[in-house]
Structure 1
């Protein structure tokens, strides 16, 4: 490391976070779809190694550099190659599968507590517009999107969704609960069978409280018109921390992609990386 990336928080002599370790690659490589066979007569250029391309995808996620400006001297291939593999692997469900695998490993390590769930949403600008954008009510009606996140008690992201910036948080309460995947080696104990779910005033609707109770969930939701200081912040801060961690990836602070599936691919990959970090921390 020659110090070129110190402005990104990478210390001199430290391995950059976009370099894929052997341990992480061992989790990802079995999930990648097989390549189509090459024609023998006109084989063309040999495809770039998947691991190097993944490093390029992570470099874009961490730095928010446009794909077309990806430095060739890093050896990660062209930006278009990284973009295509990101798209293709997302279509094949690689990022979602990786997230589910890591959730299962966290559960096996005793790091996943799904007895309670916490939910919240956050606005991001969408400078180029596109599907799942809308006039943001917190940014003078400029185009924006929303990241909706549900976590376990410790702030581990269980599921995320993307909507337009003008969509109300409550519209994603039940869809996010349904989106939490079954955890490997774990019965269907998602927030749909958890004891409680915590949320702020944006989710204060009696119809949804009743819907949660019919699923056996006790809604712990702040009431509109009630003063702060009732203690919910001591439970809800974990989801706000998780949203901050997601936005620590510079590519997610602003939505640069017109295509919603590409932004969702980055979003799901970021959730998997957060789970991977938590798993590594639990081993240390």
Structure 2
């Protein structure tokens, strides 16, 4: 299998965001550290294929599995993936491909191999351990914010946190965008107190109500968030949670959102 070498354009965006390497000791400096680009290739290989870290081969121009794992952990702590996501959102807005006049929210559950932080009994999988990805997208399906919780958390509990997690959307002159005008959601978000809180923030809630007939008509505007879930599930590490550590899975979740934004931006460039 060929190595998924990161292209030069994306590397030009990620490289400046990475923290500088630790200075080497003058006496007994040890082996040279793995280049950041090689480690990032290893991270992407694991992210896309789902293989175990220890099976990562250095023959494919990657670092070792433990080295790539440590870089992923350290870069998550440094906020690299969040900064990359915010940067790509600004580029999409500058290109006119970000429509935040309305947004849609939804969640998807994934099985967790073992327990750990932010896992819980999945009511849709015989109460096996699982996690839930909560996501907010714009009118085009671009992921704006994402949150990881246990699979037993109700969707409505993450509605306001998803809005609070929206980064400042820059890219054009004027103040950055921080909230959509309209929120679309399914019956899992039906809550009158949450509707009132959204209106207090200047956001119009369009949420299907429980115990009503199907056919609310929201599917034609909410389909974009379902499509975004399908895009993210192309990355095998987001289909199943293998690690007990929540910060590692959250790093993959943020990286997945950033790569979806990057793919959207590349499609925009190719259309011109």
TM class by smaller structure: over 0.9
- Is 1:268 the counterpart of 2:254? The answer is yes
Alpha-carbon distance in structure 1 between the residues aligned to 2:255 and 2:52: 17
TM-score, reference length from structure 1? 0.92
Question: Partner residue of 2:200?
Answer: 214
Question: Partner residue of 1:126?
Answer: 112
Q: Is the 8 A contact 2:199 2:205 kept in 1?
A: yes
Query: Where in structure 2 are the equivalents of 1:134-145 lying within 5 Å?
Result: 134-145=120-131
Question: Partner residue of 1:73?
Answer: 59
Secondary structure of 1:125's match?
strand
Alpha-carbon distance in structure 1 between the residues aligned to 2:93 and 2:53: 35
Alpha-carbon distance in structure 2 between the residues aligned to 1:38 and 1:189: 42
Alpha-carbon distance in structure 1 between the residues aligned to 2:54 and 2:187: 42
- Is 1:86 the counterpart of 2:72? The answer is yes
Q: Is the 8 A contact 1:123 1:145 kept in 2?
A: yes
Secondary structure of 2:40's match?
helix
Question: Partner residue of 1:236?
Answer: 222
Which residue among 171, 177, 188 is the counterpart of 1:189?
A: 177
Q: Deviations over 1:5-59 (max 9, x none)?
A: 6xxxxxxxxxx6x310010000000000011111011110000111011000000
Alpha-carbon distance in structure 1 between the residues aligned to 2:197 and 2:169: 23
Which residue among 10, 23, 26 is the counterpart of 2:12?
A: 26
Question: Partner residue of 2:235?
Answer: 249
TM-score, reference length from structure 2? 0.96
Secondary structure of 1:228's match?
coil
How much does 1:230 deviate?
Answer: 2.4
Alpha-carbon distance in structure 2 between the residues aligned to 1:75 and 1:219: 49
Structure 2: segments with no counterpart, 5+ residues = none
Secondary structure of 1:248's match?
coil
Which residue among 11, 31, 37 is the counterpart of 1:45?
A: 31
Q: Is the 8 A contact 2:168 2:178 kept in 1?
A: yes
- Is 1:171 the counterpart of 2:165? The answer is no
Question: Partner residue of 1:224?
Answer: 210
Q: Deviations over 1:95-139 (max 9, x none)?
A: 000000000000000000011010000110011210000011101
Q: Is the 8 A contact 1:114 1:190 kept in 2?
A: no
Aligned Cα root-mean-square deviation (Å) = 1.0
Q: Is the 8 A contact 2:170 2:176 kept in 1?
A: no
Q: Is the 8 A contact 2:121 2:128 kept in 1?
A: yes
Alpha-carbon distance in structure 2 between the residues aligned to 1:277 and 1:231: 29
Q: Is the 8 A contact 1:195 1:217 kept in 2?
A: yes
Alpha-carbon distance in structure 2 between the residues aligned to 1:214 and 1:77: 50
Alpha-carbon distance in structure 1 between the residues aligned to 2:228 and 2:191: 24
